[in-house]
């Protein structure tokens, strides 16, 4: 990796944290911004680059969140910023449904090239991950003439009406927001750390879900099975080997559209263009967003041409979908990922994480599981010597790390998972320092 940084890559907490400017902004915020949108950190951002976020009071914190797996190429990647500026100077928007432009086509071609499978593919673009998921389901329903959609335990697919129905966790995502969409069925996931039978294979876990689908719905009634190849918000759950291939095989037998939601795991995050490659599956449709455009809002679906083309002209779209500035950012982001081999960089981060955390797990008894792939890795925390989830300690560790200047996010159905999503352009030194801080916070709370 050959990356130059605009901001000094150094952690630096000077004085009160949050400082006076952040506290002032928090007061203005509480008067003006709806409480329904909450923030993980009490500090407000002034600048960000590489692995560093600088707040309005001049504190520099190490970023292990990437704005939730978005800024993989950095939050102010020079090349992406230049592409955005150049496109914005020409035209910011015309609407692809009114007067189309080349970038959209080029990005569709690129997605077809880098996504798994050699079949003919097509793509459509939207603005958010949720919208991509919604559209994958629209396509699957039209293509199959069926209605039922299957999602899994611990799944996260978004916050719009259909996608919050697909999302597993009630609080905070669904509580009070009903009625939710109908014809959604939830199936048991493969969650190796929390299986009742610890010896169950991935294939057996798939058969368990298949039996439930046959009994509760009927294979010939299902339009789509949607699953994250590595679950994100649900706890960075990597299913047992063989789980996804068996599900995908059964879906094909039953004429069901297999949708891989790669909104979080895609675009080098898991150590390949797409996590599906690592899991040995070729999905019919892949949803993409988060890391695709270096921070610009863009999402899409890429999938079998005949599936996507089953929708009548005008059936898919949206005013801003595939916005030219966001598309320019995506093209540059993908180019940067290729040139810098950021998938390889994600695998390096994975190795450093596992080496360090395995050693730590031998030392403390509150680490239940360490898992993940690439730069999408996590630590599941439990009450010492048990498998009982410990959300409180998890929160405390994240808070302690933050107080020391390292941004760490938590996740998981039980709120007991520390997840690391560093920008892929973070330097080794800064990453090692962040690991040290995290290890110290875990030890202090063990
Ligand atoms: C974040 C996420 C979504 C939703 O994306 P938004 O852009 O927030 O709408 C959907 N699926 C997965 C797997 C995600 O991680």
- Peptide bond preceding 18 in cis form (omega within 30 of 0): yes
First to last CA, the chain: 36
pLDDT at 1: 85
DSSP one-letter code for 194: G
Q: Whose CA is nearest to atom 8 of ligand 1?
A: 129
Q: Whose CA is nearest to atom 10 of ligand 1?
A: 157
pLDDT at 15: 83
**Residue 289 near ligand 1, beta carbon < 6 Å:** yes
Return the bridge partners of 406, or none: 62
Alpha helices in 36-124 (DSSP H): 66-69, 78-90, 102-114
Pocket test for ligand 1, best of 264, 301, 411 (most atoms within 8 A of CB): 264
Closest by CA position to 294, among listed 17, 85, 41 = 85
**Residue 336 near ligand 1, beta carbon < 6 Å:** no
* CA 186-191-197 angle, 5° bins: 105
DSSP one-letter code for 310: T
**Residue 232 near ligand 1, beta carbon < 6 Å:** yes
Integer Cα distance of 375 and 421 in angstroms:
6
pLDDT at 243: 98
pLDDT at 113: 98
Handedness of CA 288, 291, 292, 297 (dihedral sign): positive
pLDDT at 271: 98
State how beta strands 52-55 and 45-49 pair: antiparallel
Neighbours of 15 (CB within 10 A): 9
pLDDT at 338: 98
pLDDT at 148: 98
State how beta strands 121-126 and 60-63 pair: unpaired
Give me the average pLDDT of each 10-residue run along the chain (446 residues): 94 94 98 97 97 97 98 98 98 98 98 98 98 98 98 98 98 96 98 96 98 98 99 98 98 98 98 97 98 98 98 97 98 98 98 98 97 98 97 98 97 98 98 98 98
Integer Cα distance of 188 and 186 in angstroms:
7
**Residue 235 near ligand 1, beta carbon < 6 Å:** no
**Full set of structural domains in the chain with CATH:** 20-63+341-445 (3.90.1150.10), 80-340 (3.40.640.10)
Residues 49-103 have pLDDT tens digits of: 999 999 999 999 999 999 999 999 999 999 999 999 999 999 999 999 999 999 9
| Phi-psi label, residue 9: left if phi above 0, alpha if psi -120 to 50, beta otherwise | beta
pLDDT at 11: 98
**Residue 129 near ligand 1, beta carbon < 6 Å:** yes
pLDDT at 57: 97
The answer to whether 185 and 217 are in contact (CB under 8 A) is yes
The alpha carbon of 233 and the centre of ligand 1 are apart by a number of angstroms equal to 9
């Amino acid at each position: 990796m050959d990356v130059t940084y605009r901001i000094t890559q150094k952690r630096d907490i000077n004085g009160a944290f949050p400082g006076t400017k952040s506290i002032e902004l928090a007061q203005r915020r509480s008067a003006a911004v709806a409480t329904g949108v909450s923030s993980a950190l009490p500090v407000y951002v002034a600048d960000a680059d590489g692995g560093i976020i600088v707040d309005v009071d001049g504190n520099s914190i190490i970023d292990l969140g990437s704005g939730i797996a978005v800024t993989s190429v950095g939050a102010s990647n020079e090349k992406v910023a230049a592409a955005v500026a150049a496109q914005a100077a020409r035209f910011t928007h015309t609407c692809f449904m009114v007067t189309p432009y080349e970038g959209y086509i080029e990005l569709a071609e690129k997605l077809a090239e880098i996504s798994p499978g050699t079949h003919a593919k097509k793509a459509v673009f939207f603005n958010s991950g949720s919208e991509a998921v919604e559209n994958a389901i629209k396509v699957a329903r039209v293509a199959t003439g069926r209605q039922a959609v299957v999602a899994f335990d611990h799944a996260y697919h978004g916050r719009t009406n259909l996608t919050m129905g697909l999302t597993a966790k009630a609080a905070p995502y669904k509580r009070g927001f009903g009625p939710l969409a109908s014809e959604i069925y939830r199936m048991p996931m493969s969650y190796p750390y929390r299986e009742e039978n610890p010896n169950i294979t991935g294939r057996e876990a798939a058969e368990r879900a298949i039996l439930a689908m046959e009994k509760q719905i009927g294979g010939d009634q299902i339009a789509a099975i949607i699953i994250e190849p590595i679950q994100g918000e649900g706890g960075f759950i990597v299913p047992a080997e063989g789980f996804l291939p068996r599900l995908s095989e059964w879906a094909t037998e039953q004429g069901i559209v297999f949708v891989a939601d790669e909104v979080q795991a895609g675009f080098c995050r898991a150590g390949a263009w797409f996590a599906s490659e690592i899991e040995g599956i070729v999905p019919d449709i892949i949803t993409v967003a988060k890391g695709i455009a270096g921070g610009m809002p863009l999402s899409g679906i890429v999938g079998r041409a005949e599936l996507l083309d089953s929708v009548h002209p005008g059936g898919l779209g949206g005013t801003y979908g595939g916005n030219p500035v966001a598309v320019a950012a995506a093209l540059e982001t993908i180019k940067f990922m290729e040139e810098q081999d950021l998938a390889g960089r994600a695998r390096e981060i994975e190795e450093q994480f596992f080496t360090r955390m395995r050693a730590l797990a031998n030392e403390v008894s509150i680490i239940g599981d360490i898992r993940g792939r690439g730069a999408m890795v996590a630590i599941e925390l439990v009450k010492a010597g048990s498998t009982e989830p410990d959300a409180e300690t998890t929160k405390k560790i994240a808070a302690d790390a933050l107080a020391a200047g390292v941004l760490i996010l938590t996740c998981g159905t039980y709120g007991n998972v520390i997840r690391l999503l560093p920008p892929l352009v973070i330097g080794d030194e800064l990453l090692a320092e962040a690991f040290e801080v995290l290890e110290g916070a875990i030890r202090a709370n063990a």
